[in-house]
């Protein structure tokens, strides 16, 4: 069975074509800077890879470019678009309506559209990817895998906000959680490594978007992102936790509109607001040159993660392992060092030499004496989406 997995962002499109159930990756790639004249199309197989810079005005053109490459006689990956059995889509916000992987119908698309106000940077792009894929691969089953689904196990006392009950009862305002496919994938890998029926794990997904999950016996019991993917840790352009009174102060004192404040918190804050850069690689390079704003931002970022580590260790009532994953978590020894230093009280001791790796598989970077295992596990959201998509049609 051929499963094409699409992770559609506002200006990007990640993809993998996976042969299931063998989990063989036939090709993978990324389209970046959609909407610009210098968009980048990267396409890789086990035999070859290409990188093309050209104008890609929208997701439709990007997917058409992908389809053309899949059908390329030289690559011989597929003979026709009918060879794609399932297209699995990452959808960020499913609200309370979608608690599991779902086959896409017109009603499902309408609900995803309605939920766009809760994830304005993500759901509209996810929906665009769905509608374009329906046109290009008309005979494939289209499936939505929701970031929020893994966190449906979070108990009421953790997901409910201390505001009047009617806002939950009538309007479904609660903590939902995100990056669920990533947290699920790496926590399962960690549990397999630990070989324990009962386990306490904290997974740390660090990329442009960042989140942490407390995972007890394989189930999410708390998560740093909430009603929307803007709170919690400091992110590339998103603020993370702030005092809500700041929003009122900005509106009343400086006449900011709600829309302006939302844009600021979503797109102009986080590491970008602190340093002028959103890419951690740039920030680390500037910090090494002596840029004090960048040095402080790195300190603040790690400090916020450490606060969540402490609180999650408390609610788990113990800690077997912490997991670093995603672009920063997998590739920044510096950030992992900052997070783990001076954490010996919790039983976390990093091995400086092991920490220098950028692994392509599960790697232990803690010392042999560390009571808590520190793991780096490369996430594979696309494989997780493929597994869940195929599972939907097994029965």
**CATH number of the domain to which 68 belongs:** 3.30.420.40
Q: Nearest Cα to 348, choosing from 390, 301, 312?
A: 312
The reply to whether 190 falls in a domain is no
Q: Which of 129, 146, 163 is the last residue of a domain?
A: 146
Q: Give the pLDDT of residue 11.
A: 74
Question: Are 212 and 80 contained in the same domain?
Answer: no
The residue to which tokens 């002028």 are assigned? 276
Question: Are 138 and 225 contained in the same domain?
Answer: no
Q: Give the pLDDT of residue 59.
A: 82
Question: Are 232 and 362 contained in the same domain?
Answer: yes
Query: Starting at the edge strand that comes first in sequence, how are the strands of the sheet with 24-32 ordered?
Result: 49-54, 39-44, 24-32, 13-19, 2-8, 86-91, 141-146, 102-103
Question: Are 17 and 125 contained in the same domain?
Answer: yes
Question: Are 40 and 103 contained in the same domain?
Answer: yes
Split into its structural domains, the chain has a count of 2
On whether the CB atoms of residues 40 and 49 are closer than 8 A, the answer is: no
Query: Annotated active-site positions, please?
Result: 147
Residue 373 DSSP one-character state: E
pTM of the predicted protein model: 0.88
Question: Are 209 and 125 contained in the same domain?
Answer: no
Tell me the average confidence (pLDDT) per consecutive run of 10 residues in the chain, 395 residues long: 86 88 91 87 89 89 87 80 91 83 93 82 83 90 92 96 95 91 95 94 94 97 93 95 96 96 94 94 94 97 97 97 95 96 95 91 96 95 91 80
The reply to whether 181 falls in a domain is no
Q: Give the pLDDT of residue 395.
A: 59
Residue 304 to residue 224: CA distance in whole angstroms: 11
**Element (H or E) spanning 24, and its range?**
strand 24-32
- Containing domain of residue 284, as a range? 197-381
Query: What are the Cα distances from residue 395, in Å, to 2, 140, 329, 338, 391?
Result: 18, 18, 37, 47, 8
The reply to whether 187 falls in a domain is no
The reply to whether 120 falls in a domain is yes
Question: Are 286 and 347 contained in the same domain?
Answer: yes
Query: What are the Cα distances from residue 70, in Å, to 1, 61, 66, 153?
Result: 16, 14, 6, 38
Q: Give the pLDDT of residue 390.
A: 93
């Amino acid at each position: 069975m051929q499963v094409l997995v699409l992770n559609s962002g506002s200006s990007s499109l990640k993809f993998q074509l996976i042969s299931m159930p063998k989990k063989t990756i036939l090709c993978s790639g990324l389209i970046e800077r959609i909407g610009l004249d210098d968009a980048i199309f990267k396409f890789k197989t086990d035999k070859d890879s290409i990188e093309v810079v050209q104008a890609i005005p929208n997701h439709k053109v990007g997917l058409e470019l992908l389809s053309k490459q899949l059908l390329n006689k030289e690559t011989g990956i597929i003979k026709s678009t009918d060879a794609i059995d399932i297209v699995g889509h990452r959808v960020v916000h499913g609200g309370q309506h979608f608690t599991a992987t779902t086959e896409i119908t017109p009603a499902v698309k309408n609900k995803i559209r309605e939920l766009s106000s809760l994830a304005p940077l993500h759901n509209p792009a996810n929906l665009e990817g769905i509608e374009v894929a329906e046109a290009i691969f008309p005979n494939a089953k289209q499936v939505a895998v929701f970031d929020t689904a893994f966190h449906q196990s979070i108990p009421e006392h953790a997901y409910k906000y201390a505001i009047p009950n009617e806002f939950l009862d009538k309007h479904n305002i609660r903590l939902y959680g995100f990056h669920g496919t990533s947290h699920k994938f790496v926590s399962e890998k960690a549990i397999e490594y630990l070989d324990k029926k009962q386990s306490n794990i904290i997974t740390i997904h660090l990329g442009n978007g960042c989140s942490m999950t407390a995972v007890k016996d394989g189930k999410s019991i708390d998560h740093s992102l909430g009603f929307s993917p803007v709170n919690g840790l400091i992110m590339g352009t998103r603020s993370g936790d702030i005092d809500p009174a700041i929003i009122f102060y900005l509106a009343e004192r400086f006449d900011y509109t709600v829309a302006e404040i939302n844009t600021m918190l979503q797109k102009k804050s986080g590491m970008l607001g602190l340093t002028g850069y959103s890419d951690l690689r740039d920030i680390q390079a500037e910090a090494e040159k002596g840029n004090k704003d960048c040095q402080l931002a790195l300190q603040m970022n790690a400090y916020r993660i450490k606060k969540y580590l402490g609180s999650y260790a408390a609610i788990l009532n113990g800690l077997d392992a912490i997991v670093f994953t995603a672009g920063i978590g997998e590739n920044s020894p510096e950030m992992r060092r900052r997070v783990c230093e001076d954490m010996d009280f919790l039983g976390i001791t990093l091995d400086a030499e092991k920490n220098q790796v950028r692994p392509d598989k599960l790697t232990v970077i803690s010392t042999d004496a560390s009571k808590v295992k520190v793991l780096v596990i490369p996430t594979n959201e696309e494989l997780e989406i493929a597994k869940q998509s195929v599972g939907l049609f097994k029965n």
